[in-house]
Chain A
């Protein structure tokens, strides 16, 4: 009897073990339905356009496929003030998901698994860029919806985004890739509505103002690599502290070295991506002799403790930790990123630690202006995966957000509450302006100037509102004005060299060779070499690999092609 009992209990235990070990294997469907039940939201999904016209409740999942975008997001995208207003107008609620992995990884995973949201916003820089390649592959393989008929029917406010503010080459080859066969798979976002709206991002080097003041150095005097080095040296010897009383690091960057490329400016040519132009020849970027000087310069900075060696591969959090305490004296980035992050951290307690633009550092050819295309040659895009549960509702809600009313809602909130119209332009009420200046996050949580602005296709803030940020029109942001004066822009438009190099017959074979990361790895490895000679040797080894892989033929081909009369006015 006792033995039998023991056997039975044993059997029972084994069964429990078996069941529990298999409990992870439930089907996807059952999991989703459970999730939906748990979320406690009404998911009255409608499938026909007739139903949505009655504005029945629809909840759409929106994937913000930008790593780090959550910092400008909101914790509740369904019940925030702006979301409620959008729902009142369209019947659509938008559940926003942010990613924490790399963009290309998420896109590929999403397409391969077929587990796709209803709307996606993702990078689409064009050409052989990895995200672009993944999105194009998905489009050609039928995983994206053709937006043309939908926009025709429900998207009057979206139509102009298909043609405005995007460079001609980008439009022809990427937005309307010939292989799409006339279908419209992606909707560009963030392009300027008019020339007035072309944004000067103020990308460059910034230094803590209190340090410059203490050293009595004019920010405009930093106009060469040597002057920059001297400044770092003085900072290092000056015994400056961060807000916790720790020694400052003279120079550094945010997570993953972003954007220390600004330190290289005296060693590179403006606007060059794959190719530099030297004495009538197109030279692959790594083959430019100026790279040697840059590597030796960076090596000097690192070995002398002037540049934070950790920053090149540090995590986003590590970077922010340093920035929030004013730990790094000189940083490279664009104005808005620095301002937005510091406003909610460092400037709150230590406004004297304002970061201001220094320079301009000239490019290797002596120019100081930055050449930009008024039309974007790469943008974020929105697209609808083929599994989108209600494409009509998706386009309708995007159409609403892109209406004048919708844009004001996303940027300023509700008229009469957060803002009022003054001479046809929105002006935030003082009470809300104070709140915004004190803590932008509070308004973000209400959905104002949050991810809903990432659903607006054309940026018309400057031309229509006269300001980028609330309050700017009355009190211009002096430091943005200063940054703009340092970074003067020269405009050029037309086709670019990218529109030629894409035709190289061996492009697939050399794609891993000319990968930006391979170039970055090799040069950065050289920074950490034991001697200058070893550093140059590492570069030479990399160049040998390039030559073995066929880079010389590629350079020759590009140089020959670019001499053809039809490419004479192409920008390079």
Chain B
């Protein structure tokens, strides 16, 4: 035991430069993710403005019961899961496809331009993104409706208010905003593939398509699996900014989700205990899912987080 500890210390000293590199990240997580965890106690306390979280009196499971027994609980959960699953099924492969396409582009300038254009929306806030979208699809003077009305002689459509348009809008904005940024990881994975594999394949007579199928995809699969695992943890978090901004009376049957409930019924109304319990619920379910899926991928694809 003692020996292995000394060995560990010696190893740390030997690779001290690497450990120092990782230090800021560790410090960041401790300060912003681990220390605030004591705030979870708030979900089981009755918060007083004049007392700290610790000093406020205990309330037991009152807020948890309130949250679970809320008449909106099941519809909210259902809406949240549907949006998350859709984002996962349709939104998840998008950056992989983009990365594969960018990888095939040989003109350097064209490639750089495409990359910059696709990254850009990631750095723009949701408020701005949706404001731009609303302008485009507005029933009054929106460019899309102008084309519909003037070119195709159709009636103007209030896209934001039609529940049939809600999921397409969610997916479209989600992909538009994140696809470029998310493709970076895959691009780096692609650049790490040994070029000799491609050479060997082409000698064996494989074309572009076959090379992609048998070399590229299997090589980036571990990366994809890891990212998928990390995404699973957010299954009950469907993105509050995006959904709150897209929510209108017309689509509210689909757009009421746990995140919007936390903001609107919890934080805005000052029901911090309720908001904490709801947030904790999302995280615990997320953690359980990650553990289960991790087990499954470990067995099936031999890829796992730990």
Contacts and interface: CB of A to CB of B under 8 A. Distances in A.
B70 A527 contact: no
Contacts of A548: 71
Interface stretch (B98-106, B135-143, B277-285): B135-143
A18 B248 CA distance: 43
Contact of B265 (A249, A318, A327, A512): A512
Interface in A321-339: 322, 327
A21 B27 contact: yes
A112 B138 contact: no
Most chain A CB neighbours (cut-off 10 Å) among B49, B51, B162, B247: B49
Interface stretch (A48-56, A102-110, A481-489): A102-110
Contacts of B155: 305
Contact of B252 (A21, A107, A525): A525
Given A10-B17, A14-B23, A134 B270 contact: yes
Contact of B24 (A17, A521, A524, A549): A17
A141 interface: yes
A548 B49 CA distance: 33
Interface in A128-155: 130, 133-134, 137-138, 141-143
Contact of A141 (B48, B139, B160, B267): B48
A111 interface: yes
Contacts of A527: 249-250
A262 interface: no
Given A521-B249, A521-B252, A310 B20 contact: no
Interface residues of B, number: 42
B21 interface: yes
A108 B264 CA distance: 13
Given A25-B31, A105-B268, A143 B253 contact: no
Interface in B123-164: 131, 134, 138-141, 155-156, 158, 160-163
Given A14-B20, A17-B24, A528-B161, A111 B49 contact: yes
A18 B50 contact: no
B47 interface: yes
Contacts of A10: 17, 20
Most chain B CB neighbours (cut-off 10 Å) among A7, A315, A525, A549: A525
Contacts of A17: 24
B97 to A, nearest CB: 34
A246 B140 contact: yes
Given A10-B17, A25-B31, A527-B249, A143 B49 contact: yes
A548 to B, nearest CB: 7
Given A18-B27, A246-B140, A112 B160 contact: no
Contacts of B50: 141-143
A309 B139 contact: yes
A408 B70 CA distance: 53
Interface residues of A, number: 48
Contact of B249 (A111, A322, A528): A528
B269 A108 contact: yes
Contact of B270 (A130, A513, A549): A130
A513 to B, nearest CB: 8
A11 interface: yes
Contact of A313 (B21, B23, B138, B248): B248
A141 B236 CA distance: 35
Contact of A310 (B31, B160, B251, B264): B160
A104 B269 contact: yes
Interface string B203-215: 0000000000000
B270 A107 contact: yes
Contact of B47 (A112, A249, A305): A112
Nearest to A11: B20
A308 interface: yes
A18 B270 contact: no
B109 interface: no
A137 B49 CA distance: 8
Interface in A1-38: 7, 10-11, 14, 17-18, 21-22, 25
Given A312-B248, A545-B71, 15 more contacts: A7-B17, A11-B17, A14-B24, A18-B23, A22-B27, A25-B31, A104-B270, A111-B270, A137-B49, A305-B155, A305-B156, A309-B158, A313-B248, A524-B252, A528-B250
15 contacts: A10-B17, A11-B20, A18-B27, A21-B27, A21-B28, A112-B49, A112-B272, A141-B48, A141-B51, A143-B49, A310-B161, A327-B140, A525-B249, A527-B249, A545-B71
